[in-house]
């Protein structure tokens, strides 16, 4: 059985740990709010871009652009967006399970984040590139990633480009998500993705009708505008996924640190109770010794 000194040391150690986890919880909460606001700020831009793409799709021929070309083949490149730091619950573990269940045999990987980069490398996955993204996510950090995967697709190195990330649904819920980035599917070209607008659902049919009812004049041509707009569309999709993944990271870490802090408080209560019991038992034993000595001296 532990003595009083050992229990005091354990109580002090747990208190120090709870202070650290509480501080990490507060930091994660502040960062999560910034990442959530960053994702919400892109909603209006996404809606406007989707409206223009809807009209472009109707004014151009199917698969008139190389980025819309559907290819036959199993060569796939997957962009995996994870975290650089741990202490965020099962966020990375759940995403890794999703990647393993979705990725084909001929799949190469690009990673953002140190955690799954290490896991994929240990599992023997072929890593061709790794990127670092700032916090909060700058829009310029998404451009080289989008450019790199687009070039790989246009050069014919890969037949399909997909992205694996954690979709932020709510503070307590983050879903591992795999979405096809290239080739862009013409049927879903202008549809609002479920991860656009922080976990919001797809656009309603009334929104689509409203978008289709608008008339645009394209100069020099619809094909020329489409050629300029599709790379921007891909860039924005990559940026939105990065923002969703970052919001998921901070929310998961905030919940994990709150749980750790609560557990530490409960442990302190249990240790304090045990300490008081042992202290009371020690006092009682001393009183018994004194009483016994007095009786012996009578």
State yes or no: is 88 an active-site residue: yes
Catalytic, out of 88, 164, 222, 257: 88
For the four alpha carbons of 281, 287, 289 and 295, in that order, the dihedral sign comes to: negative
End-to-end Cα spacing for the chain: 36
Q: C-alpha dihedral over 83, 154, 187, 52, to 10 degrees?
A: 90
Give me the residues paired with residue 182 across strands: 161
Q: What's the rounded Cα separation, in Å, for the pair 64 and 82?
A: 34
What does the DSSP assignment read for 142-204?
A: HHHHHHHHHHHHHTTS-SEEEEEEEEEEETTEEEEEEEEEESPPGGGTTSPPTTTTSS--PPP
Q: What is the Cα gyration radius of the chain? A: 28
Whether 198 contacts 42, CB under 8 Å: no
Listed residue (67, 66, 80, 191) closest to 145, CA to CA? 80
For the four alpha carbons of 60, 65, 68 and 74, in that order, the dihedral sign comes to: positive
Long-range Cβ contacts of 181-185 (<8 Å, 24+ apart): 181/79, 181/149, 181/234, 181/237, 181/238, 182/67, 182/149, 182/150, 182/153, 182/234, 183/67, 183/68, 183/69, 183/70, 183/71, 183/153, 184/67, 184/68, 184/230, 184/233, 184/234, 185/70
Active site residues: 88
């Amino acid at each position: 059985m532990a003595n009083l000194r050992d229990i005091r040391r354990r109580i002090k150690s747990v208190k120090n740990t709870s202070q650290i986890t509480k501080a990490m919880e507060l930091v994660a909460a502040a960062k999560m709010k910034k990442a959530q606001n960053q994702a919400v700020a892109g909603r209006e831009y996404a809606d406007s871009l989707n409206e223009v793409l809807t009209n472009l799709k109707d004014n151009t021929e199917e698969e008139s652009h190389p980025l819309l070309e559907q290819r036959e083949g199993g060569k796939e490149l997957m962009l995996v967006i994870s975290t650089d730091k741990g202490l965020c619950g099962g966020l990375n573990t759940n995403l890794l399970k999703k990647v393993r269940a979705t990725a084909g045999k001929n799949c190469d990987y690009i990673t953002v984040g140190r955690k799954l980069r290490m896991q994929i490398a240990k599992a023997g996955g072929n890593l061709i590139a790794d990127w670092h993204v700032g916090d909060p996510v700058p829009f310029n950090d998404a451009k080289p990633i989008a450019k790199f995967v687009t070039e790989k697709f246009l050069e014919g190195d890969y037949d399909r480009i997909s992205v694996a990330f954690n979709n932020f649904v709510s503070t307590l819920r983050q879903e591992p998500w795999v979405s096809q980035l290239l080739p862009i599917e013409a049927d879903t070209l202008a549809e609002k993705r479920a991860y656009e607008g922080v976990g919001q659902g797809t656009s309603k049919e009334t929104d689509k009708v409203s978008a289709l009812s608008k008339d645009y004049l394209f100069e020099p041509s619809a094909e020329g505008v489409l050629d300029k707009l599709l790379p921007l569309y891909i860039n924005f999709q990559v940026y939105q996924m990065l923002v969703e993944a970052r919001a998921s990271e901070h929310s998961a870490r905030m919940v994990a640190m709150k749980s750790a802090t609560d557990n530490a408080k409960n442990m302190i209560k249990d240790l304090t109770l045990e300490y008081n019991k042992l202290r009371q038992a020690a006092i009682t034993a001393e009183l018994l010794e004194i009483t016994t000595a007095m009786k012996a001296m009578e």
